Amino acid sequence: MRLLTRILIFAATLPLSPIAMSQPTSVAKCAAVASEIIASRLAGEIRLNAGHPAIEWQRAQPVAFCADWQGKNPDEQRETVVRVLWSPQTLYLRFECRYRELYLFEDSASDGRRDHLWDRDVAEAFLQPDPARPRYYREFEVSPNGMWIDLDIFPGGLADLKSGMTRSVFLDEKAHRWAAELAIPLKALTPNFDPQSVWRANFYRVEGKEEPRKYLAWRPTGTAEPNFHVPAAFGTLSFEVAKKSK
């Protein structure tokens, strides 16, 4: 597919750096889903560069998934690897995605925002800072060509979050891989961030333009039809904290 929007696709014709993309895993490994992801602590802010990521990403323990929303039909050619970093100001997410086919929108707002972005290929993060309010969470989506949307989800509806999120995307069409890095201000997620707290979270991928599309999930939602909005199925997101010196 011809790509119209390339503004945020960095170095798309250059070779990847050694840490830019994870090595593909076996079906058994990417289908063995962990229930927790840990955000590694940063000493300071980092610069987003999906094609040549900051070395700090190496410290973040990845989780990988390649099965559908029911936890079935694993496909290593659609594997997603997720890493999380945090600073006192920012939550950073990195997606590394393998794909079989590419389906993209070619139009968006001037800043890259795109309504109904989930109707094409995307990676998604659902973040729930307060598990005591299970029906309130934040949704972030990014596409292989850099389009995005962020949403505030609450009982009965949704609204634009206007989080101030920034992103970087790298697409390698020859290798059928893409990567995205997101930087989300923590103040857009919770007014009083506590690194000792444990959040709930889930990560997803969608691939395809028309049904039957591919709906993949880190923590399977187990619904009869594809549905990502199942907070009870979310995994946990914990934050690495600095060890106190004796």
Total of domains in the chain: 1
pLDDT over 70 (residue 162): yes
Helix, strand, or coil (residue 159): strand
Helix, strand, or coil (residue 158): strand
Residue 129's domain spans which residues? Answer: 31-109+122-239
Per-residue model confidence (pLDDT) at position 20: 57
Nearest to 98 by CA among 21, 9, 161: 21
Q: State the Cα–Cα distance between residues 105 and 121, nearest whole angstrom.
A: 9
Judge contact between 246 and 210, C-beta under 8 A: no
Instruction: Determine, yes or no, domain membership for 10.
Output: no
Among the ranges given (130-134, 206-210, 226-230, 242-246), the one the predictor scored with the smallest mean pLDDT: 242-246
Instruction: Determine, yes or no, domain membership for 19.
Output: no
Judge contact between 115 and 66, C-beta under 8 A: no
Q: What is the pLDDT averaged over residues 58-84? A: 96
Instruction: Determine, yes or no, domain membership for 2.
Output: no
Per-residue model confidence (pLDDT) at position 32: 67
Q: Which residues contact 211 (CB under 8 A, 6 or more apart)?
A: none
Which pLDDT tens digit goes with each residue over 12-56?
Answer: 333 444 445 666 667 877 876 789 999 999 999 999 999 999 999
Predicted TM-score (pTM) of this structure? 0.90
Helix, strand, or coil (residue 171): strand
Instruction: Determine, yes or no, domain membership for 162.
Output: yes
* Length of the chain in terms of residues written: 246
CATH number of the CATH domain containing 67 = 2.60.40.1190
* Six-digit token string for 75: 């496909």
Residue 218 pLDDT class (50, 70, 90 cuts): very high
How do beta strands 36-41 and 235-239 pair? parallel
Per-residue model confidence (pLDDT) at position 22: 66
pLDDT over 50 (residue 221): yes
